[in-house]
Amino acid sequence: MNEVIKVLESRRSCRNFKPEMIKEDELKTIIEAGTYAATGMGKQSPIIIAVTDKNMRDTIAEENRKIGGWNEGFDPFYGAPVILIVLADRNVPTYIYDGSLVMGNLMNAAESLGVGSIWIHRAKEEFDSEFGKMILKKLGIEGDYEGIGHCALGYAAEPTKEAAPRKENYVYCI
């Protein structure tokens, strides 16, 4: 079977990460793959914020936990040491689709390198808040960006589960 198809069929969300940092070359490769995602009219509306600093990662996790309404101490990123935050320019009509494709590329590239991943939501709420706007300002990012998702990355602490059977009537042919 084709290696790309194997990756697409084997990728699963990881909900238990080892604390060790992923290798720098793997991280760079994953990020670069994200930049090659298809975008509407080739406008490349998304941006990626790579968070590897533990203090900033923990601060973002705490904000995400509050937005999600979980109890104190819960880590919505499941211990992943890296968070890639995808945002996209609201002024581009296809921005949500563009950012979603970036997220898919990030997760599939991670899988191809043996790195676990999971898409974590609430990036929209984070970056619509003063908290998120402060991060953008600190990074010198200007524009009308909406948070699309967080791609949490790290090495899986346990084996991934088998894929659930595909549902009936998933595909219709004309």
Question: Letter for the amino acid at 142?
Answer: E
Q: Is residue 76 part of a domain?
A: yes
The whole domain housing 56 covers: 38-154
Beta strand pairing call for 82-89 and 116-120: unpaired
Q: Is residue 9 part of a domain?
A: no
Q: Is residue 5 part of a domain?
A: no
Q: Is residue 31 part of a domain?
A: no
| CA gap 137, 135 in Å, rounded | 5
pTM equals 0.96
Q: What is the DSSP string of 60-77?
A: HHHHHHHHHTPPTT--TT
Query: How many structural domains is the chain composed of?
Result: 1
| CA gap 42, 155 in Å, rounded | 32
Q: Which of 77, 102, 104, 105 is nearest to 88 (CA)?
A: 102
pLDDT (0 to 100) of residue 160: 86
pLDDT tens for 24-70 read 999 999 999 999 999 999 999 999 999 999 999 999 999 999 999 99
Q: Is residue 30 part of a domain?
A: no
Q: Is residue 64 part of a domain?
A: yes
pLDDT tens for 136-145 read 999 999 999 9
Low-confidence winner among 51-60, 96-105, 153-162 (lowest mean pLDDT)? 153-162
Q: Is residue 135 part of a domain?
A: yes
Q: Where residue 103 sits, what CATH number does that domain have?
A: 3.40.109.10
